[in-house]
Structure 1
Amino acid sequence: MLLRELEKYTGQLLQVDRYKDYAPNGVQVEGRAEVGRLLCGVTASEALIDVAIAWRADAIVVHHGYFWRNEDVRVVGAKRQRLAKLLAHDISLLAYHLPLDAHPELGNNAQLAQRLELVLEERLGEQQLLSVGRPATPCTVAELAERVALQLGRRPLVIGAPDQIVARVGWCTGGAQGYFQQALDAGCQLYITGEASESNCHMAVEYGAAFMAAGHHATERYGVQALGRHLAEQFELAWHYVELDNPI
């Protein structure tokens, strides 16, 4: 199919125009006009591009792309290396950030909830990035931490009483530790995200709540896989997801 048709369909699917994002959503680097082989990954690193070249991909779809707000605009260093390889091999790069976090079915938050057996009750915030709900079956903080470790393949950082019963939980994948206060205000006993900040520890202690950091990369592996699978089925594309582990 045509690259621009793929971009138009995905933009409408994810409703990209609804979001005030930190980087452009859609085609960030234009390669060949036709797309038959689609490679997906979390972040558009040079290692991912190398796999795309070897796999003969026409386009790459990622969650973390390029051209972030306030970054150095010069094409030097690692940015030059990445762009040079994409352009030399005529490979397109498409990136979807906040729209892929928030999509109610394909999004990172929705996909994480499926794996952790969390029932969504409401989405909060101007861009509805904070999900709030409950465990499908009653559980403690420690039991939910074990579920995270099993599903994500790594043990999360947990602050708070392990035997506390979780009746209400908030979650937002990636670097969303800033939503902890909003989750507390919504009555959550536990908040799950990817990363942690120093202040999260004090807040958890002072509010008598629990905070769980399960990894930025680890919590955001599933949205791009769901999107890639959907696009491949919709347009009969060959597709492949590449897991390049990142401990952060």
Structure 2
Amino acid sequence: MQRREFNQLLNDILKPHTIKDFCPNGLQVEGKNEIKKIVTGVTASQALIDAAIAQKADAILVHHGYFWKGESQPITGIKKRRIGALLANDINLFAYHLPLDVHPEIGNNAQLAKLLDIEIEAGLEPIVNSVAMKGHLKTPLSGEEFAKKIAKVLNRTPLTSLVRAAKIESIALCTGGGQGYIDLAADQGIDAYLTGEASEQTIHSSREQNIDFFAAGHHATERYGVKALGELLAQEHGFDVTFIDIDNPV
């Protein structure tokens, strides 16, 4: 498929024009025109680029790309080395941030919810394309039981603040660095909140508002959207796609 067609296909699936983001979504670094072999991963790190070069990929598709608002603009240091490697090997870089979080089927939230048997009911925010979602556990679990389930499914022991005696029924979630939504979840009387990261104040919010909290890792909670997108591209459009997980403990 030609680069322009591929970019349009991704935009048709993820609809980046419907959500305001902190980075450009879509093609970020231009490479060869014909795209057949794709490597997917969470972040466009040097390790992922090197793996894609080894696989002779035509394109890399990630959740965390480049050119974030507020970052230093000069192309120096690791930015120069990463972009230089892409250009030298004629590899396209496509990145989708929030559009890949919120997609109702292949998005990070949807895929994480599916893995953990969470039934999503609505957005946590009262807006279209809420980044955080809310729903319920298909089978109510105690905080300890749910933490064990997270550890088993994600191969990552979560940081927890377990303050409720009752089992968890209602739950809100936002993959990645979504710890700030815990207060909105507490305001809505939700039993538990799941995200990737925690801040110092997050634990106080949990304790003082009687809401169980789980931080399962930014990377660990965001593996699954881009993986699902790659599987869709392979199954429905015939691309050769390889998901490469560059482990990150954060």
What TM-score do you get using the length of structure 2 for normalisation? Answer: 0.97
Residue number in structure 1 paired with 2:167: 165
1:219 is the counterpart of 2:221: yes
1:104 is the counterpart of 2:109: no
1:79 is the counterpart of 2:79: yes
- Once the two structures are superposed, residues 34-87 of structure 1 have per-residue CA deviations (whole angstroms, 9 ceiling, x without a partner) of 100000000000000000000000000000000000000100000000000000
Residue number in structure 2 paired with 1:69: 69
Question: Identity over the aligned pairs, expressed in percent?
Answer: 47
1:151 to 150, 153, 158: 153
CA distance in 2, matches of 1:6, 1:183: 38
Deviation at 1:189, TM superposition (A): 1.2
1:188 to 187, 190, 204: 190
Deviation at 1:12, TM superposition (A): 1.5
Indicate conservation of the 8 Å contact 2:164/2:210, yes or no: no
- Structure 2's unaligned 5+ residue stretches are none
CA distance in 1, matches of 2:124, 2:235: 31
CA distance in 2, matches of 1:96, 1:28: 10
RMSD: 1.0
What TM-score do you get using the length of structure 1 for normalisation? Answer: 0.98
CA distance in 2, matches of 1:117, 1:77: 42
Deviation at 1:9, TM superposition (A): 1.1
Deviation at 1:147, TM superposition (A): 0.7
Residue number in structure 1 paired with 2:230: 228
CA distance in 2, matches of 1:156, 1:182: 21
Q: Which runs of 4+ in 1 moved over 3 A?
A: none
Deviation at 1:162, TM superposition (A): 6.6
Comparing 65-74 with 156-165, greater Cα deviation is found at: 156-165
- Structure 1's unaligned 5+ residue stretches are none
- Once the two structures are superposed, residues 189-241 of structure 1 have per-residue CA deviations (whole angstroms, 9 ceiling, x without a partner) of 11000000111111111111111100000000000000011112222111100
The one-letter code sitting in structure 1 at the alignment partner of 2:117 is E
Residue number in structure 2 paired with 1:21: 21
Indicate conservation of the 8 Å contact 2:164/2:211, yes or no: no
Indicate conservation of the 8 Å contact 2:120/2:133, yes or no: yes
CA distance in 2, matches of 1:112, 1:164: 23
Q: How does 1:118-137 map onto structure 2 within 5 Å?
A: 118-125=118-125, 126=127, 127-137=129-139
SS in 1 for 2:111: helix
